[in-house]
Amino acid sequence: MKVLFVCLGNICRSPLAEGLFREMLRREGLEGRVEVDSAGTSDYHVGEPPHPGVRRLARQYGFSLDGKRARQLTAQDLARYDLIVAMDRSNLDEILTLSPEARGKAHLLMDFAKAPEKDVHDPYYTGDFEWTYRQVEAGCRGLLQHVKGRLGVVPPPASPS
């Protein structure tokens, strides 16, 4: 299964989601079963490493962003990935403009969280990386359950009492 996270610049929100989700999969022993990547709808930061604020979160919360460089989303990505996860509604609009056929597999990250907000806050403009982290963490936890369901990974039966 292939999961692609998408934001505007691919230096803040989507690399954070990529690194955190890959770490969640690793902890479940599922990293070999799910390919994870991220891309931006713009070319503003192509080739750059994640924002220093996101690199600080990675150190603080124990996940890796080694080697990640920003890249721009392509129509081929939207054909190739099974699940496209947008950080906000404007990212989702861009995705559907690039490829209307992606509608069935493109979702907002926050749709996987039990939270009323729709959009992941963009820390590029405010510097509030902790707020973004909390949202992305909640979204990725819900996404993990969804992916486990699609992979047919079921929880072990309750032990007899």
Contact between 84 and ligand 4NP by CB under 6 A: the answer reads no
> Using the rule CB under 6 A, which residue among 8, 39, 84, 143 binds ligand 4NP?
8
> Using the rule CB under 6 A, which residue among 28, 31, 44, 55 binds ligand 4NP?
44
Contact between 92 and ligand 4NP by CB under 6 A: the answer reads no
Contact between 38 and ligand 4NP by CB under 6 A: the answer reads no
Got the DSSP string for 9-41?
SSSSHHHHHHHHHHHHHHHTT-TTT-EEEEEES
Contact between 19 and ligand 4NP by CB under 6 A: the answer reads no
Among 81, 76, 96, smallest CA distance to 37 is for: 81
Among 83, 132, 143, 61, smallest CA distance to 109 is for: 143
Among 130, 78, 76, smallest CA distance to 106 is for: 78
CA R_g for the chain: 15
Segment interacting with ligand 4NP, rule: CB under 6 A, options 6-14, 19-27, 100-108, 135-143: 6-14
Q: Scanning the structure block, which residue is given the tokens 């989507």?
A: 14
Contact between 13 and ligand 4NP by CB under 6 A: the answer reads yes
Name the active-site residue from 12, 13, 77, 88: 13
Q: Which residues bind ligand 4NP (CB under 6 A)?
A: 7-13, 44-45, 122, 124
